[in-house]
Homo-oligomer: A and B are copies of this chain.
Amino acid sequence: MMLADGPRRFSELKRAIGGVSQRMLTLTLRGLERDGLVTRTITPTIPPRVDYELTGLGQSLRRPVEALGAWVFEHLPEIHRARAAFDSRAEENR
């Protein structure tokens, strides 16, 4: 959803998505481009500028993905409680 508000450069995406490797971000963007969700525009400046932008298809995916994200935010406390309980049971059974 980093591209929801318009085109972004590779370096901007890498900074915004903290902890992603150059290789993983490259592969992910190539996969999104191949699936028709993102376009990749190269501006022949020196150094060349590469911008990524959501296509119409990509924009249409925002709603279901945002709904999933909203579900996670809403239920994060329950998930954390469940993990704590699971881990303590696992500890007891050691």
Contact = CB atoms under 8 A, between A and B. Distances in A.
Interface of A: 33-37, 57, 60-61, 63-65, 67-68, 70-71, 75, 78-79, 81-83, 85-87
Q: Tell me the number of copies of this protein.
A: 2
Given A33-B86, A82-B57, A83-B35, A68 B71 contact: no
A34 B71 contact: no
What's the dominant secondary structure at chain A's contact region? helix
A33 B61 CA distance: 28
A59 B55 CA distance: 32
A82 B87 CA distance: 44
Contact of A81 (B36, B37, B82): B36
Nearest to A34: B86
Contact of A67 (B34, B57, B67): B67
